[in-house]
Amino acid sequence: MSDAPNLILGLTIEFSLQVIKYNEKLEELKKFNLANQLFRSGTSIGANVYEAQSCESRATFIHKIKIAAKEAEETKYWLTFCTKADSYSQLDGLLEKLQIIIKILNK
């Protein structure tokens, strides 16, 4: 493995940490169901990308990356929902960061 930093791993870990912070805000607002959904999909992106790094075949790698892309789309749905709802906290750039991740995963 190369010593060069892995861009997608770094982005997804940073994104997961920001999702966790946003979840804390949602839980303060007692939005537990949405917080749970967002936590699961938002952190799953990075988990699948991380797992893909040690796949035994190219096909398995591609499969894991496709799962990460699907989780990213689900996360985009929940974050978009939060932007449309009146009583939800500001997203602090989460959607923009997610769009970058989605572009990389879809390449």
Contact in structure between 94 and 16 (CB atoms under 8 Å): no
- Is residue 21 predicted with pLDDT exceeding 80? yes
This prediction's pTM: 0.91
Contact in structure between 48 and 9 (CB atoms under 8 Å): no
Provide CB contacts within 8 A for 106, sequence distance 6+: 69
pLDDT digits (tens, 9 = 90+) for 50-107: 999 999 999 999 999 999 999 999 999 999 999 998 888 788 899 999 999 999 999 8
Residue 55, sorted as left (phi over 0), alpha (psi -120 to 50) or beta, turns out to be beta
Rg (CA), the chain: 14
pLDDT digits (tens, 9 = 90+) for 41-65: 999 999 999 999 999 999 999 999 9
